[in-house]
Amino acid sequence: MQVTEYKPLIVAFCCNWCSYAGADLAGNNRLSYPADVKIIRVPCSCRVNPMFILRAFQRGADGVILCGCHPGDCHYTTGNYYTRRRMALLFSMLDYLGIERERTRVEWVSAAEGAKFAATMNDFVAQVAALGENKRLEDLRCKK
């Protein structure tokens, strides 16, 4: 019997101005984090529609993380404030439906915080891995 280590699939939405740059900085400094994290670049965290997050879960993601500029530092002044409200409400709703709250996260990572980006991803991957596969928001039709 072959035992393969469970590898979670993590989708990370990163805003172009802070967090995506923070991820680049993590790379520049060779700060490693699991390859399970796949980054999608968006102009601002406020571009992330709840539908994108649900879709990621539908297609098999085990965790979704949103990264944006720190509140007050948004490139577009106010974008991440809206993100914060939208995601607070969405995550609370997912929790209410019994979806594990550890599968979603919002983290503010600035362009200077390469180390924080790597640490956040390490932590989040470990957190999701501990939960195991996403069963509650999966779509069997999308299973491999």
Partner 1 sequence: MQEITREALLSRAAELFRDGTVDRALGWRAGEFDYDVTPGVFTSAEELENGFVWNDFCGANFSKYLIRETGLTEKKVLVFLKPCDTYSFNQLLTEHRFARDKVYAVGVPCAGMADVKLLRDRFDGVTSVEGAEGGVLVHTLYDGDVTLPQAELLPDRCRNCKSKKHVAYDELLGSDGEVLDSHRFDEVEQLERMTPDERFAFWQNELSRCIRCNACRDVCPACTCEKCVFDNPASGAANKAPSSSFEEQMFHIIRAFHVAGRCTDCGECSRVCPQHIPLHLLNRKFIRDIDRFYGEYQAGAEVGSRAPIVDYTEGDIEPGEAVEGGARHA
Partner 2 sequence: MQRIGVFVCHCGTNIAGTVDVKAVAAALKNEPGVVFSTDYQYMCSQAGQDMIKEAIAEHHLGGIVICSCSPRMHEATFRKTAAAAGLNPYMVEIANIREQCSWVHKDMAVGTEKAIILGKAAVAKVNLNTPLTPGQSPVTKRALVIGGGIAGIQTALDIAEAGFPVDIVETKPTIGGKMAQLDKTFPTLDCAACILTPKMVDAGQHENIRIFSYSEVTAVKGFVGNFDVTIKRKARYVKEDVCTGCGLCTEKCPQKKVPNEFNLGMDNRRAIYIPFAQAVPKVATIDPDYCMMLKSGKCGVCSKVCTAGAIDYKAKDEYIEEKYGAIVVATGFNPISMEKFDEYAYSQSKDVITSLEFERLTNAAGPTQGKLLRPSDGEHPHTIVFVQCVGSRCEACSEKGKEYCSKICCMYTAKHAMLTRDKYPDTDVYVFYIDVRTPGKNFDEFYRRAVEEYGVHYIKGMVGKVSPEGKKLHVQASDLLAGKQLHIDADLVVLAAAIEPDRSARPLATMLTASMDTNDFFTEAHPKLRPVESPTAGVFLSGACQGPKDIPETVSQAGAAAAKVIGLLCKDHLTGNPCVAHADEMMCNGCSTCERVCPYGAITYVEKEFRMPDRTTKLRRVASVNEAVCQGCGACTVACMSGAMDLRGFMNRQIQAEVDAICK
Q: CA 30 to CA 23: how far, in whole Å? A: 10
**Amino acid (1-letter code) at residue 92:** S
Of 16 and 55, nearer to partner 1 (C-beta) is 55
Go through 91-114 and write b for each residue having 16 or more CB atoms within 10 A of its CB, e for each that does not: beebeeeebbeebbbbbbbbbebb
Q: Quote the least distance from Cβ 58 to partner 2, whole Å.
A: 8
Q: Quote the least distance from Cβ 127 to partner 2, whole Å.
A: 19
Nearest alpha-carbon partner for 63 in 94, 24, 84: 94
Q: Which three-class secondary structure state does DSSP give residue 127?
A: helix
Q: CA 60 to CA 103: how far, in whole Å? A: 12
Question: Rule CB under 8 A: which of 27-66 touch partner 1?
Answer: 50-51, 54-55, 57-58
Q: Is 75 in the site for partner 1 (CB under 8 A)?
A: no
Of 10 and 106, nearer to partner 1 (C-beta) is 106
Q: Which residues bind partner 1 (CB under 8 A)?
A: 50-51, 54-55, 57-58, 71-72, 78, 81-82, 84-101, 104-106, 136-141
Q: Which residues bind partner 2 (CB under 8 A)?
A: 9, 11, 16, 20-21, 23-24, 26-28, 30-33, 35, 38-44, 46-52, 55-56, 59-61, 75-79, 82, 86, 118, 142, 144
